[in-house]
Chains A and B, each alone.
Chain A
Amino acid sequence: GDSVTQMEGPVTLSEEAFLTINCTYTATGYPSLFWYVQYPGEGLQLLLKATKADDKGSNKGFEATYRKETTSFHLEKGSVQVSDSAVYFCAPGPSDRGSTLGRLYFGRGTQLTVWP
C-alpha cells in the first residue's frame, strides 16, 4: 500500500544553516506530493506541493522537487531562521490514476529547532 518514509528528527541547526529533510514514498500511480508544517501551538499548514514529476514546489525559501525515478520529495532550505522551528510532515496525496481515495499519507514528522 501507499506509504511514506521521512527522516527522523529531531533536527537542530544554527541560524543560516542549510536544511535537508529527506522523504521517500511508495504509491500506486503518480500522487501529488505535499509538505505540511506545524508551528508550535498551531495546526497543520500547507508549506508547498508538487503535482507531477520534475515539478518543484517552493514557498518561504523552502523547496522540494518531485523525483519520480527515486520516489522522493526532499525538503530543502538554504538558510534557516529561528522562525522555521516547527514540525515538518511529508505527505503523498491522491494519485492521478483516477482513484477516488483522497487521503494523505503522512510521515512521522520531523521536529526542526533552529538556534540563533
Chain B
Amino acid sequence: EAGVTQFPSHSVIEKGQTVTLRCDPISGHDNLYWYRRVMGKEIKFLLHFVKESKQDESGMPNNRFLAERTGGTYSTLKVQPAELEDSGVYFCASSPDYTDTQYFGPGTRLTVL
C-alpha cells in the first residue's frame, strides 16, 4: 500500500511569489490533515479535511493560505503571496477515521527568500 506522498519535496521561492503544495493521501482515507513546522518550533496544525469538506481550518494562519481537496482525493495548499515567515516544512497526513492513527508524508520544505 502506497503511503502519503507530497510534492514537491523542496521549494525555494521569492517573497511575493505563489507556491502550491500537493498531498496525495493513502487511498481510501477520508481524513486529510495539513501541519507546518517552522524552524525550531513545534509542529502546528493547519487544517483538517473530511473527504472534500473542511472540517477544521482554525489553524490556517491567514487568508494568504488556501487549501482545497476537490473530489475528496488529493489536496493542494496554495500560499499567495508568500512571505518570509512562511518558510518551514509542510506536512500532510491522512487517516481512515479522525480517531485513527495519522500517517504522515515526507513533508515539503518551503524556503521563501
Contacts and interface: CB of A to CB of B under 8 A. Distances in A.
A100 B53 CA distance: 13
B103 to A, nearest CB: 7
B42 interface: yes
Contacts of B107: 43-44
Contact of B98 (A42, A89, A100): A100
A62 to B, nearest CB: 16
A23 to B, nearest CB: 12
A59 to B, nearest CB: 12
Contact of B56 (A45, A93, A96, A103): A103
Interface in A70-112: 89, 93-94, 96, 100-109
Given A34-B101, A43-B107, A103-B48, A108 B91 contact: no
A101 B48 contact: yes
Contact of B55 (A34, A36, A102): A102
Contacts of A96: 99
Nearest to B3: A43
B105 interface: yes
B36 to A, nearest CB: 11
A101 B99 CA distance: 9
Interface string A8-41: 0000000000000000000000001010100000
Contact of B99 (A36, A102, A108): A102
B75 interface: no
Interface of A: 32, 34, 36, 42-46, 49, 89, 93-94, 96, 100-109
19 contacts: A43-B104, A44-B107, A45-B104, A46-B101, A46-B103, A94-B99, A100-B55, A101-B55, A102-B33, A102-B55, A103-B33, A103-B48, A104-B33, A104-B43, A106-B35, A106-B42, A106-B44, A108-B41, A109-B42
Interface of B: 31, 33, 35, 40-45, 48, 55-56, 59, 91, 93, 95, 98-99, 101-107
